[in-house]
Chain A
Amino acid sequence: DAGVIQSPRHEVTEMGQEVTLRCKPISGHNSLFWYRQTMMRGLELLIYFNNNVPIDDSGMPEDRFSAKMPNASFSTLKIQPSEPRDSAVYFCASSFRGSNYGYTFGSGTRLTVV
């Protein structure tokens, strides 16, 4: 199993540009989570999906953030327009829905907005 795959690993972009982060969950997992990690706020859950349906997006900071899961093997997190305060590490994780076994995390995308 290749694990949760995120791309790109690093992204540097200019303020105002659109940024798209990508995630491929573990095959068979039906829950997918997007987290943001910063020094100030630690690990924050942004949004999660069950069976490709967004369940809770209350952690999405602003309307500039959007997430989609068009199928069971792919999800995107988009920031448009990006701002310097969006600089963070973004993690994707997947699990079996209702599983008490925790999540498997991807390697993360380090986003820098200049």
Chain B
Amino acid sequence: AQKVTQAQTEISVVEKEDVTLDCVYETRDTTYYLFWYKQPPSGELVFLIRRNSFDEQNEISGRYSWNFQKSTSSFNFTITASQVVDSAVYFCALSVPSNDYKLSFGAGTTVTVRA
């Protein structure tokens, strides 16, 4: 079975602070895919990134960066110099071929950035 754990329920920061969201996953598949989605207050689910299990390179996209570490089964997400517009719920998700690539979501982390 697949499982995604986001241990942080809520994080509150002041603008310009960095914030790191933790994601730990469990799977027996050797091939798997990890995702982050953002859900702003407007409610839609927005795709942020996809990472496959064979690519452990960290990725940076603007103020967003992701740290994938297979040794610890983690796929953490950092927002650098946070802004009020980053306030949202962030979901980590996992898909594996043995489960027909269905997405298994974590519980989400609510990030509040205060001005």
Task: List A residues at the B interface (Cβ < 8 Å).
Answer: 33, 42-43, 45, 48, 50, 55-56, 89, 91, 93, 95, 98-108, 110
- Report which of B47, B50, B93, B102 forms a contact with A104, defined as CB distance below 8 A: B47
What is the chain B residue whose CB lies nearest that of A55? B100
A55–B103 CA distance with the chains assembled, in angstroms = 15
How far in angstroms is the closest Cβ of chain A from B15? 26
Inter-subunit contact A100/B52 (CB<8 Å)? yes
Contact in complex: B50, A101 (CB < 8 Å): yes
Partner of B102, one of A42, A48, A107: A48
CB contact under 8 A between A89 and B100, given known A102-B33, A102-B35 = no
Cα distance A108–B103 in the bound complex, in angstroms: 17
Residue-wise, chain B 1-44 has the 8 Å CB interface mask toward A (1 for contact) of 00000000000000000000000000000000101010000011
Interface residues on B, range: 20 to 34
B103 shortest CB reach to chain A, Å: 6
Q: How far is the CA of A105 from the CA of B50 in the complex (A)?
A: 15
B52 → chain A, closest Cβ, in Å? 7
Return the chain A residue nearest B91 by Cβ: A43
Given known contacts A42-B105, A42-B107, A42-B108, A102 and B44 CB-to-CB distance under 8 angstroms = no
**CB-based contact B95/A102 at 8 Å:** yes
Q: Mark B83-109, 1 if CB is under 8 A from A, else 0.
A: 000000001010101001111010110
Contact A108 B44 (CB under 8 A): yes
Q: Is the CB of B95 within 8 A of A91?
A: no
Write 10 A-B pairs (CB below 8 A) sorted by A numbering: A42-B105, A43-B105, A45-B102, A56-B102, A98-B97, A100-B101, A102-B95, A102-B103, A105-B37, A107-B43
Kindly list chain A residues whose C-beta atoms are within 8 Å of the C-beta of B37.
105
Taking the closest CB of chain B, its distance from the CB of A113, in whole angstroms, is 18
Q: Given the complex, which residues of A lie within 8 Å of B33, measured CB to CB?
A: 100, 102
B25 to chain A, nearest CB (A): 14
Give every chain B residue within 8 A of A91 (Cβ-Cβ).
45
What is the CA–CA distance of A33 and B43 in the complex, to the nearest angstrom? Answer: 17
